């Protein structure tokens, strides 16, 4: 029986790879490999050998050209081990093979700047959205309530009835679209998977600090029309066990943290659809 394999890309400033790999294993993946981007560029590791790609949080290239922009340019133009194959071809093949990609924080920024999200027209290399500086003008490190759109096609959110509670830690998390039409399509097709909300997970909010960055329509997460690609600014890998909750010593909490369901759903999908 084939194993469900996840890959977590690290290097050039990421700092959440250990947590992401741990979340994949807890979620049910048989293997979670942490691979430096240099190993992929050298051809030593190929995305084709995996089922679930994790693009993690951090500060890619110091965010010197804007969050994840340098990495997006690199991945679009780099070749593998000096061959004629561009690395981006592995990404597009990975997507076309029906596999899963989850981008968290810096990884979400990378996905939108590469064009992998929202990919409304099926073109995963056409950028139509971005993530930019928080309205408050400074880095935010806090916990947020996220209302889930249960009509979303996202495979990661199966079984979430109202919402989840996750931490954010970013300076550039404000979601913007290139046009009103893009935003209208995102909302009409239920691609805005999570929105910053009140504590009851009922009403999306633009009020700071519940909405820590001023994102358009309070959008905290986005998926593509297939539901197999998703990005979010909050960190699901940072809440997979109750001891990661800020009030775990004062409240009776379930053993599993709210973020773990995303990885469990990913593992279930992989076993049912790609292996």
pLDDT digits (tens, 9 = 90+) for 144-161: 999 999 999 999 999 999
What does the pLDDT look like over 44-80, one tens digit per residue?
999 999 999 999 999 888 887 788 888 888 888 889 9
CA atoms of 27 and 55, how far apart (whole Å): 16
> 126 pLDDT exceeds 80?
yes
195: domain CATH number is: 3.40.50.880
Our answer to whether residue 235 is catalytic in this structure is yes
Which residue in 17, 170, 237, 245 is the catalytic one? Answer: 237
Which residue in 105, 144, 148, 223 is the catalytic one? Answer: 105
**How many structural domains are present in the chain?**
1
Question: What does DSSP assign to residue 131?
Answer: E
pLDDT of residue 60: 87
Tokens encoding 79? 């070749």
Domain region containing 37: 5-273
- The fraction of the chain above a pLDDT of 90, given in percent, is 89
Our answer to whether residue 17 is catalytic in this structure is no
Our answer to whether residue 19 is catalytic in this structure is no
What does the pLDDT look like over 206-240, one tens digit per residue?
999 999 999 999 999 999 999 999 999 999 999 99
pLDDT of residue 275: 81
């Amino acid at each position: 029986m084939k194993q469900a394999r996840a890959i977590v890309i690290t290097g050039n400033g990421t700092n959440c790879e250990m947590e992401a790999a741990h979340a994949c294993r807890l979620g049910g993946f048989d293997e979670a490999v942490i691979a430096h981007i240099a190993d992929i560029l050298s051809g030593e590791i190929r995305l084709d050998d995996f089922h679930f790609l994790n693009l993690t949080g951090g500060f890619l290239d110091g965010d010197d050209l804007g969050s994840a922009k340098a990495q997006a340019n690199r991945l679009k133009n780099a070749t593998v081990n000096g061959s004629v194959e561009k690395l981006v071809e592995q990404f597009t093949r990975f997507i076309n093979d029906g596999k899963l990609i989850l981008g968290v924080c810096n990884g979400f920024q990378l996905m939108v700047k590469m064009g992998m999200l929202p990919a409304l027209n099926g073109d995963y290399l056409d950028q139509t959205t971005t993530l930019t500086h928080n309205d408050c003008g400074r880095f935010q490190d806090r916990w947020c309530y996220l209302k889930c759109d249960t009509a979303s096609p996202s495979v990661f959110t199966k079984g979430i009835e109202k919402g989840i509670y996750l931490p954010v830690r970013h300076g550039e998390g404000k979601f913007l679209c290139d046009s009103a039409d893009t935003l209208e399509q995102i909302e009409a097709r239920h691609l805005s998977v999570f929105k910053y909300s009140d504590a009851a997970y009922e009403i999306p909010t633009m009020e700071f600090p519940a909405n820590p960055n001023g994102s358009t329509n309070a959008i905290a997460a986005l998926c593509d029309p297939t539901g197999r690609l998703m990005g979010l600014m909050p960190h699901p890998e940072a809440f997979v066990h109750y001891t990661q909750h800020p009030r775990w010593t004062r409240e009776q909490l379930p053993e599993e943290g709210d973020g773990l369901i995303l990885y469990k759903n990913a593992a279930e999908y992989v076993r049912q659809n790609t292996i």
